Chain A
Amino acid sequence: MSVATGAYGVSFGALAVTAGLDVWQTCVLSLVMFTGGSQFAFIGVIASGGLAAAPSAIASAALLGVRNVAYAVRMNPVVGLSWRHRLAAAQFTIDESTAVALAHTDLRARRIGFWVTGLGTYLIWNVATLGGALLGDVLGDVRAYGLDAAAAAAFLALLWPRLRSRQAVAAGTAAAVAAASLTPWLVPGMPVLIAALVAILIGSFNWHSARGEEPQ
């Protein structure tokens, strides 16, 4: 898991610089925002439309950050009893730490799993981000090295393991088609934000759910 985190972090750093952020701005995203999905979405939207797309970039990051609310609710009884523990835990409440904690059944093991994974990921993610940002800065000419294509490939690689259900495939495809076809008609950034609408529509009406799965 730590090797994968390092690879994602280096890619994030390099792609953020490619998108037009400086090394400091890239590092602040990893240090403060610290939630991979939101960070990738933020720089992806900025890459497509620059500073003019900033409102869409903020909205995309915020929408993808909503899942951390659900994680925090589940981790609330796990991280420790005092308020100090909970406040400290908030920043480390992400996909990885929640997944590792929930993989254990015993409370003590869950707590250790959460903290070790959360802190470990934070450390690796930030060191890798800095490395990637410096690398992207050195490379300079983005297109000659195919870094714009690398960004597309990175998003596809992040998407791939999530395409397990028919509903996920439908949502991913519909959002991609909608974003590409709306690109000439909307200000940069907005086509990506349409993805939220696609997710809300498919999720709310439970379209393309697996056969036999009861809509809740």
Chain B
Amino acid sequence: MTMWTAILLAAVVCVASKLIGYLVPTVRLERGRSARVIDLLTVAFLGALVAVQTVGSGMAVTIDARLPALMVAGTLLWLRASFVIVVIGAATVAALLRLLGWSA
């Protein structure tokens, strides 16, 4: 599979799911169990992505400058900083630590 195939396939699936709701309005995903699972999907995926993006390197778990950067991001969020500040703050911490030669 090339990157283009993957991108187009994923995009078509996402567009199709938007269309399904209009073409088959009898689909009911609004209440109960399925709605709860759909709500939790976003949270669970984001949680998993935070973990993999922070400590993952291929198939290895590595503790490096990303972990302190994420802790700074968490602190900034707790202080109600905006999205831009949080992202730039974390990048700056990681870049500075690497500049100082701390653990890759």
Footprint of B on A, CB under 8 Å?
Answer: 4, 7-8, 11, 20-21, 25, 28-29, 32-35, 37-38, 40-42, 44-49, 51, 54-55, 57-58, 60-76, 86-87, 89-91, 93, 143-160, 162-163, 167-168, 171-180, 183-184, 186-188, 191-192, 194-196, 198-200, 202-204, 206, 216
State whether B44 touches A149 (Cβ < 8 A). no
Question: From DSSP, what is the main secondary structure of chain A's interface residues?
Answer: helix
In angstroms, Cα B61 to Cα A186, docked, is: 12
| Known pairs A64-B41, A149-B90, A171-B43; A155 contacts B49 (CB<8 A) | yes
In angstroms, Cα B15 to Cα A74, docked, is: 17
State whether B50 touches A176 (Cβ < 8 A). yes
List the A side residues contacting B66 at CB < 8 Å. 148-149, 152
Question: Can you report 25 residue pairs joining A to B where beta carbons are below 8 Å apart?
Answer: A20-B3, A33-B14, A41-B49, A44-B49, A46-B6, A47-B53, A54-B1, A55-B1, A64-B41, A68-B17, A70-B38, A76-B22, A148-B66, A158-B46, A162-B42, A162-B46, A167-B40, A168-B39, A175-B44, A175-B51, A179-B49, A179-B52, A199-B41, A203-B37, A216-B31
With CB as the reference atom, state the residue of chain B lying closest to A151.
Answer: B53
State whether A156 touches B30 (Cβ < 8 A). no
Could you mark each residue 10-50 of chain B with 1 if its beta carbon is under 8 Å from any beta carbon of chain A, else 0? 11111101111110010111111101111111111111111
With CB as the reference atom, state the residue of chain B lying closest to A68.
Answer: B18
State whether B86 touches A156 (Cβ < 8 A). yes
* Number of A-B residue pairs with CB-CB distance less than 8 Å in the complex they form: 323
List the A side residues contacting B59 at CB < 8 Å. 183-184, 186-188
List the A side residues contacting B37 at CB < 8 Å. 199-200, 203-204
State whether A21 touches B3 (Cβ < 8 A). yes
State whether A152 touches B47 (Cβ < 8 A). no
Quote the shortest CB–CB distance from B98 to chain A (angstroms).
6
With CB as the reference atom, state the residue of chain B lying closest to A181.
Answer: B61
State whether A153 touches B55 (Cβ < 8 A). no
Quote the shortest CB–CB distance from B70 to chain A (angstroms).
5
| Known pairs A62-B13, A76-B22; A168 contacts B43 (CB<8 A) | yes
